Amino acid sequence: MKKLGKFFKGYIKESIAGPFFKLLEATFELLIPLVMASIIDRGVANKDSSYIIRMGIVMVGCGLIGFVCTLIAQYFSAKAAVGFATKLKQALFEHIQLFSFTEIDAIGSSTLITRLTSDINQIQAGLNLTLRLFLRSPFIVFGSMIMAFTINIKAAMIFVVTIPLLSIVVFGIMLLTMPMYKKVQEKLDITLGITRENLSGARVIRAFNQEEDEINRFHQEHSELTKLQLFVGRLSALMNPLTYLIINLATLILIWTGAIQVNNGIISQGELIALVNYMSQILVELIKLANLIITITKSLACAKRVAGIFEISSSMQQMQKMNEKNIEGHHKDYIKFEHVDLIYKNAGGASLSDINFEVERGQTIGIIGGTGAGKSSLVNLIPRFYDATNGRVLVEGIDVKNYSIEDLRQKIGIVLQRAVLFAGSIRDNIRWGKPDATDQEIMTALQTAQAAEFVMQKEKGLDEEITQGATNLSGGQRQRLTIARALVRKPDILILDDSASALDYATDAKLRHAIRNMENKPTVFIVSQRASSIQYADKIVVLDDGKMVDIGTHEQLLQRCSIYKEIYYSQFPKEENND
């Protein structure tokens, strides 16, 4: 919690006011048994109804004041806890946004979601209870013992013995359960990860008829989580019967010895009742304290996990915003790969090896190769989704590592393999590419992306709502909208990473023709499995197992590159036969 303490700034007053009003409420609670003793010894014993009424009013007044103090304490505690959790969530989310794909791949999105939601919510609950009960419960326990000493020293010795016994039970069980709750949270992470996979991949699961296997897989992990939770729950459940056993034995001894003292005139009947009430208060508060400690234990485990995310720094060093001079046209090689290698974290081998080629401004570059050849890995180096392990990637003669992330990515429009749209209107989704885009600019981008026709057929046009996951659009529609989102910003560099796979050949051809005729003439990288999508590119890079086999035009590669010929003629067999 020390590392997260900085998020508590601004809530110092609330964190002081909350416990203060709780202690004030506890003080009035400690007075009530004495008022009750006075009513029994003076009012009931003397049959003084007016005195009983007056002291009854005092008791009700103490209760009302305590109730008001409790409400105030709850308000300040909740304000501090919720405010702390809000700051923590915002800071954690901002920190995660700085991660490169390397860190996100290594940690896992399901783990990050758990940290942002379940873990921080647990920290919030623990902080709220701590502010309310951490001082109040010990205050009541020791306050009751002190009040017992003011009534009768011999009877108070029962409290002196009982409180340590109760503490041994409470803290003993706590020490046993603390490490187990950490394991419970780890199992919960695994279960949430499986749940997320099944929800995001529901269509794939059904397509391959794997429902039963996934149900069994979930049940296996969930049953292990359940067993662990039941075991730690049973240990925690021992606390109540053991504490009740001790407190009831103590109460029995207190009444037995107290009755003898009452009979001998050492203490009054009212004082005995007050002692029993104080013993009951100790029981209640120790149970509260035990539950509080368990909650704090969970919260500390969660805090450690959240702090662990903050300790992970991005492997991608980011430059501050640079004051760039206008270098446009100074470099013939607009984009250059200089002997680039890429090895993913914890990977067995290199995904890219010795990639070396140059691209002039405005050229269209096709990238083709078999599955797993490294096509996406190559284009992901340009916007710095990953950093090259060796070598350099240059844009306008500057190493991409020397750009600020904002400056670099402002030059680039990218359409990833998986078309991702967000819940909201079509207009809002397109404006991700350019927040201040006008409707005219949006429509121009939609026309270039071959999406204007189907958008205008929608009842609300640009205001048509897209559901979460874009489930109300077809695969081709999703791809065209993501292409429009990249085009609306009029990027200097356009990367299409297998982004037309769901389009028919005619629409794909129209799209490529429209991009070639764009006014700003971007430098285009087209990653595709289709030879037809890249055959008219200025250069075609052929990859095989992470290595650049050849680079050239379509005609050149057909003559000299066996891998390209194999790919091309597998898609156009008639030409192979005619050759």
Q: Of 277, 311, 345, which residue is a domain's last?
A: 311
Rounded to the nearest 10 degrees, how much is the dihedral formed by the CA atoms of 563, 564, 568, 571? Answer: 40
DSSP state of 316: S
pLDDT tens for 142-166 read 888 888 888 888 888 888 888 888 8
In a domain, 448, yes or no: yes
Q: Where are the alpha helices (DSSP H) in 489-528?
A: 505-516
CATH code for the domain in which residue 33 is found: 1.20.1560.10
Contact 551, 572 (CB under 8 A): no
Judge if 358 and 498 occupy the same domain: yes
In a domain, 324, yes or no: no
Taking residues 37-53, report their average pLDDT: 84
CB burial readout 289-308, b (16+ within 10 A) else e:
bbbbbbbbbbbbbbbebbee
In a domain, 319, yes or no: no
Contact 363, 492 (CB under 8 A): no
Contact 537, 543 (CB under 8 A): no
Closest CA to 173 of 282, 289, 294, 280: 294
Contact 336, 393 (CB under 8 A): yes
Q: What is the 3-state secondary structure (H, E, C) of 290-310?
A: HHHHHHHHHHHHHHHHHHHHH
Judge if 295 and 242 occupy the same domain: yes
Determine the Cα–Cα distance for residues 292 and 284; give it in Å rounded to an integer: 12
Judge if 132 and 47 occupy the same domain: yes
Rounded to the nearest 10 degrees, how much is the dihedral formed by the CA atoms of 103, 334, 430, 455? Answer: -130
Judge if 44 and 94 occupy the same domain: yes
Q: Of 265, 295, 311, which residue is a domain's last?
A: 311
Judge if 175 and 284 occupy the same domain: yes
| Residue-wise DSSP of 339-398 | EEEE--TT-SS-SEEEEEEEE-TT-EEEEEESTTSSHHHHHHTTTTSS--SEEEEEETTE
Judge if 262 and 127 occupy the same domain: yes
Distance linking the first and last C-alpha atoms of the chain: 72
CA atoms within 13 Å, Cβ hemisphere of 212: 1
* Lookup: tokens for 454: 């189907």
In a domain, 196, yes or no: yes
Judge if 278 and 340 occupy the same domain: no
Q: Which domain holds residue 371?
A: 335-578
pLDDT at 202 over 70: yes
CATH code for the domain in which residue 552 is found: 3.40.50.300
CA atoms within 13 Å, Cβ hemisphere of 491: 25
pLDDT tens for 380-422 read 999 988 888 899 999 988 888 888 888 888 889 988 888 888 8
Query: In the prediction, which pLDDT does 20 show?
Result: 92
Contact 44, 160 (CB under 8 A): no
**From 318-327, 333-342, 463-472, 507-516, the region with the lowest mean pLDDT:** 318-327
- From residue 376, give the alpha-carbon distance in Å to each of 143, 384, 523: 68, 12, 17
- pTM of structure: 0.72
Judge if 157 and 278 occupy the same domain: yes
Determine the Cα–Cα distance for residues 193 and 525; give it in Å rounded to an integer: 34
In a domain, 529, yes or no: yes
Contact 330, 361 (CB under 8 A): no
- From residue 221, give the alpha-carbon distance in Å to each of 209, 216, 305: 20, 9, 21
Judged by DSSP in three states, 230 sits in helix
* Lookup: tokens for 336: 């250059």
- From residue 96, give the alpha-carbon distance in Å to each of 88, 116, 297, 308, 552: 12, 10, 25, 12, 40
**From 15-19, 20-24, 96-100, the region with the lowest mean pLDDT:** 96-100
Judge if 456 and 387 occupy the same domain: yes
Percent with pLDDT over 90 in the chain: 18
Residue given tokens 């570059």 in the structure block? 365
Judge if 219 and 352 occupy the same domain: no
Judge if 291 and 372 occupy the same domain: no
Q: Of 262, 295, 311, which residue is a domain's last?
A: 311
* Lookup: tokens for 236: 């925690």
Higher pLDDT, 95 or 284: 95
How many domains is the chain built from?
2
Higher pLDDT, 128 or 150: 128
pLDDT tens for 332-384 read 568 999 999 998 887 777 889 999 999 998 899 999 988 888 898 999 999 98
Taking residues 122-151, report their average pLDDT: 87
pLDDT tens for 473-495 read 888 888 889 999 999 988 999 99
What is the band of 576 on the pLDDT scale with cuts at 50, 70, 90? very low
Closest CA to 30 of 287, 288, 292, 285: 285
